[in-house]
């Protein structure tokens, strides 16, 4: 990659990082070419060259947030032993990702789901698709835990996924709203209790 292309890619990454940070606090509707240009000391034309429309910018911000989530939550958790340890690790890494403020508004997706759940269009579809992938991942991990005998044979993996996700999202919401990490601790205790894991 020559210098000009490398600089262009670096600029694009900087724009997406800032866009995702803004969206985690103010929502995807808070993103504008002008706002990003001002924040990053770029020309509007420079930002526009990377993203031809607000919707394209929103979709790219979602894709960037998914990359961050994959790096901070999914990949580390997949290093845990299969079955219940991996399922527990996935939830714990999710809470750590929010607690560490990888995005200033906590979990990026918690906000944008609420923002776009009742809308139609490409952004809604991207948010829904990401959500479905996450729930499918948790469901698959729960199913594996059942197969390995880590959870009772009559366990409904989809129900487990729903409950674990609900606990994690509640922890994120309460912690971001109150500024207290106690909500994360309560969430992980609830998750461990639901899975029958030592609360440590």
Percent of the chain residues topping a pLDDT of 90: 80
Q: Higher-confidence residue: 34 or 83?
A: 83
Residue 61 has pLDDT above 80, yes or no: yes
The pLDDT of 45-59, averaged and rounded, is: 88
Check the CA dihedral 48-52-58-62 and report its sign: negative
- Please give the Cα distance from 130 to 152 (Å, whole number): 29
Which CATH superfamily hosts domain 58-195? Tetracycline Repressor, domain 2 (1.10.357.10)
The pLDDT of 84-95, averaged and rounded, is: 97
pLDDT tens column, 147-168: 999 999 999 999 999 999 999 9
Which residues, 6+ apart, have CB-to-CB distance to 181 below 8 Å?
99, 175
Residue 198 has pLDDT above 80, yes or no: no
- Please give the Cα distance from 146 to 154 (Å, whole number): 8
The pLDDT of 69-95, averaged and rounded, is: 97
Q: Are 12 and 50 in contact (CB under 8 A)?
A: yes
Say which DSSP state 9 is in.
H
Residue 170 has pLDDT above 90, yes or no: yes
pLDDT of residue 1: 54
The pLDDT of 173-187, averaged and rounded, is: 95
CB atoms within 10 A of CB 147: 13
Residue 3 has pLDDT above 70, yes or no: no
Residue 45 has pLDDT above 90, yes or no: no
């Amino acid at each position: 990659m020559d210098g000009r292309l490398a600089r262009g890619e670096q600029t694009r990454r900087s724009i997406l990082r800032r866009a995702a940070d803004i969206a985690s606090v103010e929502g995807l509707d808070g993103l504008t070419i002008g706002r990003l240009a001002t924040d990053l000391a770029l020309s509007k034309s420079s930002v526009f060259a990377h993203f031809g429309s607000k919707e394209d910018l929103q979709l790219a911000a979602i894709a960037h947030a998914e990359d961050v989530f994959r790096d901070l939550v999914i990949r580390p958790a997949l290093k845990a032993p299969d079955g219940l340890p991996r399922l527990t690790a996935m939830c714990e890494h999710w809470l750590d990702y929010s607690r560490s403020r990888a995005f200033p508004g906590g979990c990026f997706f918690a906000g944008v789901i609420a923002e776009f759940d009742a809308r139609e269009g490409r952004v809604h579809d991207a948010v829904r698709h990401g959500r479905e992938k996450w729930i499918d991942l948790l469901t698959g991990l729960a199913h594996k835990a059942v197969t390995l005998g880590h959870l009772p044979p009559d366990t409904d993996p989809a129900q487990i996924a729903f409950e674990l996700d609900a606990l994690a999202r509640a922890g994120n919401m309460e912690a971001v709203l109150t500024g207290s990490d106690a909500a994360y601790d309560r969430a992980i205790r609830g998750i461990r209790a639901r899975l029958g894991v030592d609360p440590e």
